[in-house]
Amino acid sequence: MEGPKLISKSLLENTVYLRGLFEGCMDFMMREFKINGINAALTAIDGLVNKQTIAQAIMTPIWNAEIPQGTPEEQLSYLRDSSLSTVDQTQLRTLDDVMDRIFSGFAVLLMDGCDWAVAFGVQGFQFRGISEPSNEVMQRGSREGFVEPYLINISMIRRRMKTSSLKFEKMEVGSMSKTSIALCYLQDMVSQEVLEEVRANIHKIHQQSVLATGYLAPFLEKKGVFNGVGLSERPDTVCGKIMEGRIAIIVDGTPNVLIVPHLFIENFQSYDDYTTRPYYATFTRCLKVIAFFFAMFLPGLYVATVTFHPDLLPEAMLIKIAQAEASTPFPVMIEAVVIHLIYEIMREAGLRVPRPLSHAVSIVGALVIGDTAVSSGLIGTPTLLVVALTALSSYAIPSLYEPIALLRFAFIIIGGTVGLWGITLGMGAVAVGICAESVYKIPFSAPVTPFRWKSMRDVFVRAGWRTLSKKTITVQDMPGSNVKKL
């Protein structure tokens, strides 16, 4: 296997090689000129660099510099150290490094007679401005959300945590995309064992392109229904997780940041819990737990009860349900499955349709599922009410929507074929699956199982800040954890 191609002392050889690689690329720029009578070339990618910065910080100082006579290497060293004013400068030895820097928004200066080059950070590409994240809306938190360039995301985290213990470790994934990612952690809080495992998992990624966080997540977690990797668009949320000994993975080109390890109980927590009174935060967390059970089990329980155990219902309710179902042509299980499928189609259409048409989708969906379906006698009113309550409950815990949406159909089918006994066994299987799973040697269900009283101060009940500030409990302190601390 051939090694990296070194920069030649012949400028002509270097420029011919680069022009051959970028043949047919209209955005490739190369300006050839002379420095003290020696041929030189400046190369960059149009659209990734700021041309005004190149003119002011590179070309103008070169024209105005009084370069002492000497070898080409001495003259280039003088320009680098005494004339050129860009802060980010890197010396390159291989043409592969030249290409990597060019693709990252650098301008590279090559000079005849030098077997090395100088790269200057003159990035100038356009990007979306910092705005409030749309998926994590908070009442009292910051209005800043991550953006696509990962260096800006790093700066937002650094601005909130002014400590030298905060480390950003750069890595690269994707053989063709060469996507830059950064591991973010607190050196005195993170477990070296977890950090090494995360690094090893990233090194195992052999993909041609990594364009979003979803490309990385499957390599950072074990197979399971529930996600062991957290996701956030908020720098304040990420800072809070880092303070607990977790690792944030910032991917260039996406406003979402991955957080590992991620425990199941964190799906019921939000940043607003820590900006409101403890009693109200406790109340909202209990609501989310109730919403989780409603979203996953309520349709299955309803189908099982109406089909196999109608004697469990009050007489007045049973009469109403019987009257509604008598006018519909399908069994309750078929009704529930069909209406949930229609709801999922509506939701997907609302997400993918152009924004101006989203209101039309909502109106059509309300007419189809609400008025028309009931009036035509295809769907009973009690079933429609259960589906509506289930949909509302699923919105209370958006991070669990994907597994809940699939398991909901499974429980409807189980309830319609086996009854409450099957629902009970299904609940047990879900509980066992959550408790048996571990994320980087930390129980996924911690600190509920294994139980630890001290860790329960920020689970279902959110203690006041006077209690929470006494001692910081990291994720490695969770009961049952086999992770070694630093």
- pLDDT level of residue 69 (50, 70, 90 thresholds): confident
**In this predicted model, what pLDDT tens digit does every residue of 371-394 receive, in sequence order?**
667 777 777 788 888 888 998 899
**In this predicted model, what pLDDT tens digit does every residue of 322-331 receive, in sequence order?**
888 777 888 8
Question: Residue range 420-449: average pLDDT?
Answer: 89
Question: Residue range 225-235: average pLDDT?
Answer: 89
Q: What pLDDT, on a 0 to 100 scale, did the predictor assign at position 1?
A: 44
Question: Residue range 323-352: average pLDDT?
Answer: 84
Measured distance CA(117)–CA(62) in Å, rounded: 15
pTM of the model: 0.84
Q: What pLDDT, on a 0 to 100 scale, did the predictor assign at position 158?
A: 92
Q: Which of 36, 45, 27, 34 is nearest to 11 (CA)?
A: 34
Question: Residue range 29-41: average pLDDT?
Answer: 90
Q: What pLDDT, on a 0 to 100 scale, did the predictor assign at position 367?
A: 61
Question: Residue range 53-62: average pLDDT?
Answer: 87
**In this predicted model, what pLDDT tens digit does every residue of 348-376 receive, in sequence order?**
887 777 777 666 666 666 666 666 677 77
* Tokens 């009693």 found at: 279
Domain ranges of the chain: 11-121, 150-262, 278-436
Q: What pLDDT, on a 0 to 100 scale, did the predictor assign at position 404?
A: 92
Q: Which residue has the higher pLDDT, 198 or 221?
A: 198
Residue ranges of alpha helices (H) inside 79-144 are 95-103
Measured distance CA(80)–CA(103) in Å, rounded: 21
Residue 186: strand, helix, or coil: strand
Q: What pLDDT, on a 0 to 100 scale, did the predictor assign at position 464?
A: 82
Q: Which of 123, 129, 119 is nearest to 47 (CA)?
A: 123
Q: What pLDDT, on a 0 to 100 scale, did the predictor assign at position 486?
A: 47
| Inter-residue contact 460 to 282 (CB < 8 Å) | yes
Q: Which residue has the higher pLDDT, 182 or 141?
A: 182
Q: What pLDDT, on a 0 to 100 scale, did the predictor assign at position 479?
A: 64
Contacts 24+ apart (CB under 8 A), 212-220: 212/251, 212/253, 212/254, 212/256, 213/249, 213/251, 213/254, 213/256, 213/257, 213/258, 216/173, 216/181, 216/249, 216/251, 216/258, 217/258, 220/249, 220/258, 220/260
**In this predicted model, what pLDDT tens digit does every residue of 104-148 receive, in sequence order?**
889 999 999 999 999 998 888 777 778 888 778 777 778 888 988
The overall average pLDDT reported for the chain is 86
Question: Residue range 416-433: average pLDDT?
Answer: 92
Quick check: 442 pLDDT over 90? Answer: no
